Amino acid sequence: MSSAKAKVLILGTGGVGTMAAYALEIGGKAEVTAIMRSNYEAVERNGININSIDHGHDIKGWRPTTIRKEVPNVVEEGLPSFDYILITTKNVADIPPSVAAIIEPAVTPGKTSIVLSQNGLNIEKPLIAKFPTNPLISSVSMISVTETGHGNVLHDFPDAQTIGPFNSPGVSAEISEAAARQYINIYNACDKLSLTYEANILETRWRKLLYNASFNSVAAILRMDTLRMRMSEHIIDDLIRPIMLEIKAGAHAYGIHLADETLEYLIRVDPIGAPFKPSMCQDIEKGNYIELETIIGEPLRAGEAKGVSMPMLRTVYGLLKGLQLKTKESKGLWTSEFTESNPYQ
Ligand SMILES: NC(=O)C1=CN([C@@H]2O[C@H](COP(=O)(O)OP(=O)(O)OC[C@H]3O[C@@H](n4cnc5c(N)ncnc54)[C@H](OP(=O)(O)O)[C@@H]3O)[C@@H](O)[C@H]2O)C=CC1
Ligand SMILES: CC(C)(CO)C(=O)C(=O)O
């Protein structure tokens, strides 16, 4: 890449996507094209108001260089290639269209690096299949950020990410590593954030699942913040810790050791005095789809494939699938009728 600004396309400019766009632009090493959906009109009219623990509490009417409603077709529009495409949508793998299909017109084979800043396991698989010559980068984020209304973003836990290359058979390890390191360089050009390079991204992803598979799921089912869960005690003892122990066992089957101290730390990690609802709970409350396959389904399938018993995860998966079906029905994606193969009619 030359000394010109890196061209970055961001798909999904909600909480995480907005903070990424902001950091990338103020660092001065990137020019962002942000794809927006329901917030497009509001942002086009008034820009984005950001209250950020990292960047300042009173940012008003900010806009990235370019905002668009649709992903550009770089060939048909004669646009320069994107250096990076950053995916910050919720990963709802069970709801079409796929991310791979959405970004395809903007991907230059063999050139554009694709960064997945999303929770969950095996999220890279469909992208490796569709873009076998493009470097794929994993970002596991510990930020807490919410789009509280269209064009209003509250960012109240610092942006800390662990970043490294996904293993993609058609791309050399050197190229993938260089793309990941360069991404960190341009993202943290503002020098305010905590971005760490980590080669073993599988371990990072399983470790993050300790929190997301347990707290996100139970919070979504109970519609409860994590502080109230801890106050009730039995929710931790009967639900959260047993789920974490199954994730630990699943990770162990793949050679990853997650220490008991990590579980105990994560159980108490959210600050007292600030009730917090994890993203899956916020999604349920907004009537949005939830990330059930990547946060629960994939670790469950991965663990069971290795013979790990995961009764808690299986139960949670069943409950969340029921909730997802209700959301699908409310959005017209599912009709309440028996299919021919259904044995319960
Ligand atoms: N928020 C957080 O604190 C954290 C989130 N994460 C992870 O980061 C990822 C992003 O989460 P988050 O930022 O909270 O998600 P948000 O729900 O805040 O934002 C997602 C954005 O993607 C948009 N979007 C979805 N599909 C499309 C599409 N086809 N075209 C254009 N825009 C689209 C949504 O638009 P619309 O509003 O129209 O649906 C929304 O603006 C998730 O995997 C999450 O688990 C990880 C750590 C912390
Ligand atoms: C808990 C948190 C905010 C950690 O970054 C998260 O991953 C989520 O809400 O999904």
Q: Is 201 in the pocket of ligand 1 (CB under 6 A)?
A: no
Nearest-ligand number for the alpha carbon of 212:
2
Taking residue 190's Cβ as centre, other Cβ atoms within 10 Å add up to 17
Q: Tell me: the pLDDT tens digits for 289-311?
A: 999 999 999 999 999 999 999 99
How far is ligand 1, taken at its centre, from the CA of residue 260, in Å?
31
Are residue 266 and residue 171 in the same domain, yes or no?
no
| CA 170 to centroid of ligand 1, rounded, Å | 29
Q: Could you tell which of 89, 99, 104 is best to mutate to test the pocket of ligand 1, judged by most ligand atoms within 8 Å of the CB?
A: 89
CA of 90 to the centre of ligand 1 (A): 4
Please report, for the domain that includes residue 18, its CATH number.
Answer: 3.40.50.720
Confidence of residue 196 (pLDDT cuts 50, 70, 90): very high
Give the domain extent around 176: 6-199
Question: Could you identify the atom of ligand 2 that is nearest to the CA of residue 270?
Answer: 1
Is 102 found in the same domain as 208?
A: no
Residue 2 has pLDDT above 80, yes or no: no
pLDDT above 90: residue 7: yes
Q: Which atom of ligand 2 is nearest to the CA of 208?
A: 7
Residue 96: pLDDT over 90? yes
102 touches ligand 1 (CB under 6 Å): yes
Same domain, yes or no: 61 and 185: yes
Residue 15 CA to ligand 1 center (angstroms) comes to 6
Comparing CA positions, the residue from 29, 33, 27, 31 lying closest to residue 13 is 33
CA distance 323 to 338: 18
Residue 160 and residue 35 share a domain = yes
Centre of ligand 2 to C-alpha 289, Å, is 16
* Confidence grade of residue 273 (pLDDT, cut at 50, 70, 90): confident
343 Cα: distance to centroid of ligand 1 (angstroms): 37
Q: Among 107, 34, 100, which residue's Cα sits nearest to residue 74?
A: 107
Which residue, judged by its Cα, is nearest atom 3 of ligand 2? 144
3-state secondary structure of 314: helix
Residue 168: pLDDT band with limits 50, 70, 90 = very high
Together in a domain, 182 and 261: no
- Give the ligand with the smallest distance to the CA of 208: 2
Indicate the residue among 170, 199, 228 that finishes a domain. 199
- Closest Cα to atom 10, ligand 2: which residue? 279
- Do 192 and 239 lie in one domain? The reply is no
pLDDT in tens, 106-117: 999 999 999 999
State the chain's mean pLDDT as an integer. Answer: 97
Query: Mean pLDDT, to the nearest integer, of 258-272?
Result: 96
> Of 213, 224, 211, which Cα lies nearest the Cα of 285?
224
Of the candidates 18, 2, 315, 27, which has an alpha carbon nearest to the alpha carbon of residue 195?
27
Q: Which of 199, 216, 236 is where one domain is finished?
A: 199
Distance 12 CA to ligand 1 centre (A): 6
Give the closest ligand to the alpha carbon of residue 37: 1
Closest ligand 2 atom to 215 CA = 1
For residue 119, report the distance from its CA to the centre of ligand 2, in Å: 8
Please give the distance, rounded to the nearest whole angstrom, from the Cα atom of residue 117 to the centre of ligand 2: 12
State if residue 144 touches ligand 1 by the CB under 6 angstroms criterion: yes
* Residue 262 and residue 194 share a domain: no
Dist CA 165 CA 32 (whole Å): 22
CB of 90 closer than 6 A to ligand 1?
yes
- pLDDT of 218 > 70? The answer is yes
Same domain, 27 and 168: yes
Q: Decide if 10 is inside a domain.
A: yes
Ligand 2 contacts (CB < 6 A) are: 119, 141-144, 211-212, 216, 278-279
Domain count, the chain: 2
Mean pLDDT along residues 38-59: 98
ipTM over 0.95: yes
287 pLDDT more than 60: yes
Ligand 2 nearest atom to the CA of residue 211, by list position: 1
In 3-state terms, what secondary structure has residue 33? strand
The answer to whether 106 and 112 are in contact (CB under 8 A) is: yes
Statement to judge: residues 165 and 299 lie in one domain: no
Q: Which residues of 132-153 are buried (b: 16+ CB within 10 A; e: fewer)?
A: eebbbbbbbbebbbbbeebbbb
What pLDDT, on a 0 to 100 scale, did the predictor assign at position 1?
A: 52
